[in-house]
Chains A and B, each alone.
Chain A
Amino acid sequence: MSDALLEVDNLVKHFSIGGGFGGGQAAQVRAVDGVSFTIRRGETLGLVGESGCGKTTTGRCILQLERPTSGRIVFEGVDLTTLGHDALRAVRRRVQVIFQDPYSSLNPRMTIGQILAEPLVVHGIVREKAARAARVQELLFQVGLQPQHARRYPHQLSGGQRQRVGIARALAMEPALIVCDEPVSALDVSIQAQIINLLEDLQSRLGLTYLFIAHDLSVVRHISDRVAVMYLGKIVEITDRQRLYEEPLHPYTRALLSAVPIPDPALEARRERTVLRGEVPSLLNPPPGCVFHPRCPIAVDRCSAEIPPLREIRPGHSAACHLA
């Protein structure tokens, strides 16, 4: 695909736990286990799944905050996993991140103005002081904050305003790709919509590409062009937004969608609901065959023996299920 901005190819990230100094075998946590997808320029790919499914680790590998165990991460034609420290620094400008909790990701002793000016200094983007101040004002304006916010400290802002600062800091680097890791889940409902609208406006104005990591399926459907569903380190289904929600192929996707309560009592009273049995198994000891089979309402014998590959069931719609 020529317009692919990011290509993740068979990404694997294992963490070792235990073992170490006293001897003993370290256990392997397969946080991400063979994940592949592409994101086209200007597109938003949603990455959904429950805690421990590997969505955040996938994001951190793309940001090169974690070194992958294997696999390739090709950004603008360059495989990031092969780059050394200096070359990576240049790429980091182009790939930015917005975190879930803006409070813990902003230095409490710096003013908003200083927070936004810092990356401009560190990366030598704007060297002159006056030009930097002007750029900070421009960034504040872009995210809907007032000029006087530059003199405030993070604790003087509300949660929504802090997330706007988090977004402005990402924008300071003029990135092509922003990894948004649960950017609205810590915010109040009435503020979530403000931030989602802002992200959408910035995307169309600046031509940004987003990897949008979240667990809220309604929000993901709203903002994403395509959506990948992860379960226990693997992508179990990936397709465009509309098809995922209208014709989900994987039983896990169907269960996730049915678990979301809808704000309409009349509808909820009529709605059939598939409640999944059991819990997500341990990553230390994933089940054989399809990792979802112990909880799957339609599993057959084959599912516990054979790992279903992610295969294209129809054009642009892939699922990892023997029965899809």
Chain B
Amino acid sequence: MASLLEVRELSTTFQTASGLVRAVDGVSWSIEPGETVALVGESGCGKSVSALSVMRLVSEPAGRIESGEILYQGRDLLKLSEEQMRGVRGREIAMIFQEPMTSLNPVLTIGRQVTEGLEIHMGMTPLKAQARALELLGMVGISDPERRLAQYPHHFSGGMRQRMMIAMALACNPSLILADEPTTALDVTIQAQILELLRDLSRRLGVAMLIITHNLGVVARYADRVNVMYAGRIIERASAAELYANPRHPYTLGLLRSVPRLDEPRRGRLVPIEGQPPDLTRLPPGCAFTPRCAYRVERCEREAPALAPAGGAEHVSACWESARLVQERAA
């Protein structure tokens, strides 16, 4: 079966005061219909820019999609006209952002913000759109929907706003939702509510989802497959179960080791990843993780490793020393 979305060799750059930044640097990944895929990594690794590139929302002229293909149901989104693209955004692929307040219009009622998309994309009459909006609010667990639709975003709590964003994302029955840190701004108990809601809805409606996050726990609970990004590149990809059980890249291993875990006895000392995050304007010619890597060899500084099969089925890692890492972990 063809992938729902296939990103091939995507490169997106930004012109900044301190030089050209390759925010996304020749990255390929895909999502199958109904699947939940995670892009995980730390700030500046290119995970959000990847999603914005898919939506063609990279802010020009500073930002530019340099090359690559973004195949959605076989069509290259990068070749569409702006008008054709407007038919894709919201209608076929919807996006949920970290801070719902900045993506809601403060001077329009919640109801208007939901019905607008329905009228434009689905050609609904105002009456029909209103009925659909009520149904959507019920779906995302907002009680008293009629009163809520007449309210403005500032009447809503953070959790309720995010429910609203989910309702708006689902409005036109998209087949893919890109969720960029959907719960990072929320409290722990509300985070759990929103994530469970997203998962239930995506399963029930068969919507595929891309979850972008830095939270390894969220990935473990909600993703089928995981792409780990570092400095604009994917450095490891596997099923969630495989990635956590057998990490094959020193960065993934380092991330997993550095977080304290509630399910394990308390450790005496945490094992951090040493050094600083990479300066994206001055990346080394080889692997960007080299300066912080415990497994580095001389070759790493000169030559960037490509993603290559590393053990299990569909498990790939971009590391020259991934075999040694596996051996040492087994020993």
Q: Which of B71-79, B117-125, B268-276, B313-321 contacts A (4 or more CB under 8 A)?
A: B268-276
With A158-B277, A189-B214, A218-B259 already in contact, the answer to whether A265 and B188 are too (CB < 8 A) is: no
Say yes or no: B192 contacts A266, CB within 8 Å. Answer: no
Q: Is there a chain A Cβ closer than 8 Å to B155's Cβ?
A: no
Q: Is there a chain A Cβ closer than 8 Å to B282's Cβ?
A: no
Say yes or no: A193 contacts B258, CB within 8 Å. Answer: yes
Say yes or no: A222 contacts B260, CB within 8 Å. Answer: yes
A191 CA to B259 CA, complexed, in Å: 10
Say yes or no: A196 contacts B270, CB within 8 Å. Answer: yes
- Chain B residue, CB-CB nearest to A258: B192
- Return A51 CB to nearest CB of chain B, in Å: 6
With A264-B263, A268-B221 already in contact, the answer to whether A273 and B216 are too (CB < 8 A) is: no
Among A197, A222, A261, A279, contact of B221 (Cβ-Cβ < 8 Å): A261
From 253 to 272 in chain A, residues with beta carbon under 8 angstroms from any chain B beta carbon are: 255-268
From 168 to 199 in chain A, residues with beta carbon under 8 angstroms from any chain B beta carbon are: 188-194, 196-197
In this complex, how many residues of chain A approach chain B with their Cβ under 8 Å: the count is 44
A161 CA to B275 CA, complexed, in Å: 10
- Chain A residue, CB-CB nearest to B256: A263
Say yes or no: B269 contacts A197, CB within 8 Å. Answer: yes
Say yes or no: A194 contacts B220, CB within 8 Å. Answer: no
- Return B162 CB to nearest CB of chain A, in Å: 11
A191 CA to B263 CA, complexed, in Å: 22
Say yes or no: B42 contacts A268, CB within 8 Å. Answer: no
Say yes or no: A262 contacts B277, CB within 8 Å. Answer: no
Q: Is there a chain A Cβ closer than 8 Å to B193's Cβ?
A: yes
Q: 1/0 per residue A203-236: CB within 8 Å of B?
A: 0000000000001011101100000000000000
Query: What residues on B are CB-neighbors of A286 within 8 Å?
Result: none
Q: Is there a chain B Cβ closer than 8 Å to A276's Cβ?
A: yes
Say yes or no: B274 contacts A218, CB within 8 Å. Answer: no
- Chain A residue, CB-CB nearest to B272: A193
Q: Is there a chain B Cβ closer than 8 Å to A200's Cβ?
A: yes
Say yes or no: B220 contacts A265, CB within 8 Å. Answer: yes
Q: Which of B91-99, B103-111, B170-178, B237-245 contacts A (4 or more CB under 8 A)?
A: B237-245
Q: Chain A CB within 10 Å — which of B187, B255, B292 has the most?
A: B187
A245 CA to B269 CA, complexed, in Å: 18
A279 CA to B157 CA, complexed, in Å: 9
Among A161, A193, A219, A255, contact of B276 (Cβ-Cβ < 8 Å): A161
With A158-B276, A265-B241, A266-B245 already in contact, the answer to whether A245 and B188 are too (CB < 8 A) is: no
Q: Is there a chain B Cβ closer than 8 Å to A241's Cβ?
A: yes
- Return A246 CB to nearest CB of chain B, in Å: 10
A74 CA to B91 CA, complexed, in Å: 61
From 102 to 150 in chain A, residues with beta carbon under 8 angstroms from any chain B beta carbon are: none
Query: What residues on A are CB-neighbors of B263 within 8 Å?
Result: 262, 264, 267
Say yes or no: A276 contacts B192, CB within 8 Å. Answer: yes
Among A215, A218, A266, A276, contact of B260 (Cβ-Cβ < 8 Å): A218
- Chain A residue, CB-CB nearest to B218: A261
A257 CA to B192 CA, complexed, in Å: 11
Say yes or no: A262 contacts B42, CB within 8 Å. Answer: no
Query: What residues on B are CB-neighbors of A219 within 8 Å?
Result: 260
Q: Is there a chain A Cβ closer than 8 Å to B281's Cβ?
A: no
Say whether chain B's binding surface is mostly helix, strand, loop, or mixed.
Answer: helix
Q: How many A-B residue pairs have CB under 8 A?
A: 135
Query: What residues on B are CB-neighbors of A217 within 8 Å?
Result: 188, 262
Q: Is there a chain A Cβ closer than 8 Å to B86's Cβ?
A: no
A243 CA to B33 CA, complexed, in Å: 45
Q: Is there a chain A Cβ closer than 8 Å to B160's Cβ?
A: yes
Among A188, A258, A263, A273, contact of B43 (Cβ-Cβ < 8 Å): A188
Query: What residues on B are CB-neighbors of A241 within 8 Å?
Result: 266
Q: Is there a chain B Cβ closer than 8 Å to A280's Cβ?
A: yes
Say yes or no: A265 contacts B274, CB within 8 Å. Answer: no
- Return A138 CB to nearest CB of chain B, in Å: 22
- Chain B residue, CB-CB nearest to A282: B157
Q: 1/0 per residue A153-169: CB within 8 Å of B?
A: 00000111100000000
A217 CA to B241 CA, complexed, in Å: 24
A92 CA to B314 CA, complexed, in Å: 58
Query: What residues on A are CB-neighbors of B160 within 8 Å?
Result: 279
Among A196, A221, A245, A259, contact of B192 (Cβ-Cβ < 8 Å): A259
A193 CA to B189 CA, complexed, in Å: 24
Among B159, B189, B218, B270, contact of A197 (Cβ-Cβ < 8 Å): B270
- Return B225 CB to nearest CB of chain A, in Å: 11
A260 CA to B259 CA, complexed, in Å: 13
Say yes or no: B269 contacts A200, CB within 8 Å. Answer: yes
Among A50, A196, A262, A266, contact of B188 (Cβ-Cβ < 8 Å): A50
Q: Is there a chain B Cβ closer than 8 Å to A275's Cβ?
A: yes
Query: What residues on B are CB-neighbors of A197 within 8 Å?
Result: 269-270, 272
- Return A73 CB to nearest CB of chain B, in Å: 27
Say yes or no: A221 contacts B42, CB within 8 Å. Answer: no
From 35 to 73 in chain A, residues with beta carbon under 8 angstroms from any chain B beta carbon are: 50-51
Q: Is there a chain A Cβ closer than 8 Å to B217's Cβ?
A: yes
Closest 4 pairs between A and B when the two form their complex, measured CB to CB: A261-B217, A193-B272, A50-B187, A190-B273
Please, could you name 5 A-B residue pairs with CB atoms under 8 Å apart, sorted by A?
A50-B188, A160-B277, A190-B255, A263-B220, A279-B159
Residues of A within 8 A of B (CB): 50-51, 158-161, 188-194, 196-197, 200, 215, 217-219, 221-222, 241-242, 245, 255-268, 273, 275-276, 279-280
Residues of B within 8 A of A (CB): 42-43, 157, 159-160, 187-193, 195-196, 214-222, 240-241, 244-245, 254-256, 258-263, 266-267, 269-274, 276-277, 292
